[in-house]
């Protein structure tokens, strides 16, 4: 078969049908280019888990085909899995913008076993990765250095937006180059994959500059108060606006929170964040200044348990005690799933007397993702033949698909992907052509496990059903019980209120042990018999399935 007739394949390891974990593999003629390597936050049914990663078994099994990886921008849902991925795949070439590379390098310092020197690329730069020619096209987003990708393949041009919005008045003064998008569109775009996060929202998204205007007004209205602002540490443009306002009104800045300190230091070093160093005050010296002279910039906009703002709300932050003269601004939106934690922090701050403002009360945050009219502009400029909506839950992908149809694209030319799908694209058609190994890996401290692993199942059982520990003491001479079995319950029942049931349970254990033939059965089978007996009994009595842990003690 002529190589020109081979199909282009996209395999999705994450980022579709969900928020986070963005990662896909672009493949042609046994050459793979990886796009992004993101993580996700654990859900409520993942106790003890720190980070959720995409399962990259497919890439590990096809390691010899991988030519490199391109990263669209430096948000955790696009770079968070990178150290773990590189640990499995080895030192593959990685390409990203200046700030993204700096953030990746910070991350890799925490994983010293991983050896990788990412390559810095610039807006408009074209690189060759295997058979793929990749042009990096600047897009506007809620972090500096975000890039779209115009990838020339042997089949045709493929454009991937990454996360983007159309902001005509961005903080860095460099809006998206719509003329370049139109030029790419005139060349002919075979396939478009595009950000679907806000595909349900009509109209245009608000400019980042609008947040600056709102914050400026809030500083004027609260001249005598100490202002505390929680925002995403990666939103360098937001932070730049806050620093500019502080300089304008003579307020000192206090950075708190590890990620806030790290990212601001990193962005400052590479020139992405510019401010007068004399503005910065160490948190240990905050008491030297009046409240109206201070602005605290902190992490914790998502209610994270150990974040700076959460510790302030809980009265656990050494140098900052929240009171009636504090004005707290949540300059952020709630990531789906974090609403409960955010509300808890807000309520705690209110109980301490603070005044609070957040997105629903004032324009203190704007999304970094395109609304419907911006998506229409993108489609109109690029004029793709085929379209695959990405980056969002299924409802977002469906909304974006409908938008493309409204613009005249035939339904047969649109495919909505799921994690694990492989989509094949030729010059004439697009279709789902297969399924790859996919799923998630869970990071617990330094350990990585499967989603259905024993440890995770045990944690869920302990969290939802509780546990019972049964101790049985047996003489190693007579093979008889030396005392009645003991049962200890935690998170299952309160023993003092259920003594009759627990006595029945002890009798059942006693009868199980007495009926055992110690000559033919080992300890493991005896423990298993005890476990089965109690599981059946407790489910019949309580409709509960506690974890049963039998312990047999031999005495001489």
- For position 1, what pLDDT does the model report? 40
Mean pLDDT of 362-370: 95
| pLDDT digit string, tens, across residues 420-448 | 999 999 999 999 999 999 998 888 776 67
Q: 447 Cβ partners below 8 Å, 6+ apart?
A: none
User: CA separation (Å) from 104 to 34, 232, 237, 494, 537?
Assistant: 16, 17, 19, 50, 54
Domain with CATH 3.60.15.10 in the chain: 3-203+367-450
Give the pLDDT band (50/70/90) at residue 519: low
**Alpha helices (H) along 352-391:** 372-382
Q: Indicate if the pLDDT at residue 367 is higher than 50.
A: yes
Q: Which tokens go with 121? A: 């690329």
Cα separation of 154 and 542, whole Å? 64
Domain 208-357 - what CATH class?
Answer: alpha beta
Give the pLDDT band (50/70/90) at residue 511: confident
Q: Indicate if the pLDDT at residue 315 is higher than 50.
A: yes
Arch. (CATH architecture) of 3-203+367-450: 4-Layer Sandwich (3.60)
- For position 360, what pLDDT does the model report? 87
Domain with CATH 3.10.20.580 in the chain: 466-555
Mean pLDDT of 469-498: 82
Give the pLDDT band (50/70/90) at residue 2: very low
- For position 87, what pLDDT does the model report? 92
| pLDDT digit string, tens, across residues 33-85 | 999 999 988 877 776 777 899 999 999 999 999 999 999 999 999 999 999 99
- For position 4, what pLDDT does the model report? 42
- For position 493, what pLDDT does the model report? 82
Q: Indicate if the pLDDT at residue 5 is higher than 60.
A: no
Give the pLDDT band (50/70/90) at residue 462: confident
Provide the 8-state DSSP code for 447: E
| pLDDT digit string, tens, across residues 241-278 | 999 999 999 999 999 999 999 999 999 999 999 999 99
Give the pLDDT band (50/70/90) at residue 364: very high
- For position 460, what pLDDT does the model report? 76
Give the pLDDT band (50/70/90) at residue 342: very high
Give the pLDDT band (50/70/90) at residue 517: low
Q: Which residue has the higher pLDDT, 7 or 374?
A: 374
Nearest to 11 by CA among 390, 266, 525: 390
Q: Tell me which fold the domain 466-555 belongs to.
A: Ubiquitin-like (UB roll) (3.10.20)
- For position 470, what pLDDT does the model report? 92
- For position 516, what pLDDT does the model report? 72
Q: Exposure pattern of 306-321 as b/e (b: 16+ CB <10 Å)?
A: ebbbbbbbeeebeebe
- For position 282, what pLDDT does the model report? 93
Classified as helix, coil or strand, 117 is coil
- For position 370, what pLDDT does the model report? 98
Range of weakest confidence among 2-6, 104-108, 470-474: 2-6
Give the pLDDT band (50/70/90) at residue 544: confident
Domain with CATH 3.40.50.10710 in the chain: 208-357
Q: Which contiguous run of DSSP H or E holds residue 218?
A: helix 208-221
Percentage of the residues of the chain whose pLDDT score is greater than 70: 96
Decide if 238 contacts 331 (C-beta within 8 A): yes
Q: 471 Cβ partners below 8 Å, 6+ apart?
A: 485, 486, 488, 551, 552, 553
Q: Indicate if the pLDDT at residue 100 is higher than 70.
A: yes
Q: Find residue 421's DSSP bridge partners.
A: 435
């Amino acid at each position: 078969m002529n190589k020109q007739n081979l199909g282009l394949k996209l395999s999705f390891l994450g980022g579709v049908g969900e928020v986070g974990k963005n990662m896909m593999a672009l493949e042609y003629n046994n050459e793979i280019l990886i796009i992004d390597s993101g993580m996700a936050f654990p859900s409520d049914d993942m106790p003890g888990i720190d980070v959720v990663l995409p399962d990259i078994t497919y890439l590990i099994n096809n390691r010899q085909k991988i030519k490199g990886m391109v990263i669209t921008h430096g948000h955790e849902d696009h770079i968070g899995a990178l150290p773990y991925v590189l640990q499995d795949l080895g030192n593959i070439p990685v390409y990203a913008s200046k700030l993204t590379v700096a953030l990746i390098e910070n991350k890799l310092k925490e994983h010293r076993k991983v050896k990788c020197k990412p390559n810095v690329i610039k807006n408009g730069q074209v690189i060759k990765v295997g058979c793929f020619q990749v042009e990096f096209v600047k897009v506007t987003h809620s972090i500096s250095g975000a890039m779209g990708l115009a990838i020339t393949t042997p089949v045709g041009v493929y454009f991937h937006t990454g996360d983007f919005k159309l902001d005509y008045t961005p903080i860095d003064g460099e809006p998206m180059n719509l003329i370049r998008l139109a030029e790419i569109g005139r060349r002919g775009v075979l396939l478009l994959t595009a950000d679907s996060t806000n595909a349900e929202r009509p109209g245009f998204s608000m400019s980042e500059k609008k947040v600056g205007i709102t914050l400026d007004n809030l500083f004027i209205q609260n001249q005598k108060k100490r202002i505390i602002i929680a925002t995403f540490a990666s939103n360098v443009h937001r932070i730049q606006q806050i620093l500019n306002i502080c300089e304008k009104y003579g307020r000192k800045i206090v950075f708190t929170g590890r990620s806030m300190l790290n990212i601001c230091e990193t962005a400052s070093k590479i020139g992405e964040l510019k401010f007068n160093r004399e503005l910065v005050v160490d948190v240990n010296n905050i008491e030297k200044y009046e409240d109206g002279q201070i602005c605290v910039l902190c992490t914790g906009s998502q209610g994270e348990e150990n974040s700076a703002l959460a510790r302030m709300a809980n009265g656990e932050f050494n140098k900052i005690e929240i009171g009636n003269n504090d004005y707290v601004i949540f300059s952020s939106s709630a990531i789906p799933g974090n609403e409960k934690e955010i509300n808890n922090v807000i309520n705690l701050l209110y109980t301490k007397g603070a005044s609070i403002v957040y997105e629903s009360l004032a324009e203190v945050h704007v999304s970094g993702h395109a609304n419907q009219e911006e998506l229409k502009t993108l489609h109109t400029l690029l004029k793709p033949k085929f379209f695959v909506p990405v980056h969002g839950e299924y409802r977002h992908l469906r909304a974006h698909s409908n938008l493309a149809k409204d613009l005249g694209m035939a339904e047969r030319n649109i495919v909505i992907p799921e994690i694990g799908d492989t989509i094949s694209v030729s010059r004439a058609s697009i279709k789902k052509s297969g399924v790859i190994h996919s799923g998630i890996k869970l990071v617990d401290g330094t350990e990585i496990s499967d989603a259905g692993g024993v440890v995770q199942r045990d944690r869920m059982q302990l969290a939802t059903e509780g546990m019972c520990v049964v101790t049985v003491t047996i003489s190693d001479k007579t093979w008889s019980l030396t005392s009645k079995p003991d049962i200890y319950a935690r998170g299952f029942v309160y023993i003092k209120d259920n003594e009759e049931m627990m006595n029945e349970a002890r009798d059942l254990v006693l009868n199980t042990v007495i009926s055992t033939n110690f000559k033919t059965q080992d300890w493991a089978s005896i423990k298993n018999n005890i476990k089965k007996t109690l599981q059946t009994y407790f489910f019949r009595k309580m409709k509960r399935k506690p974890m049963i842990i039998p312990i047999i003690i031999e005495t001489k």
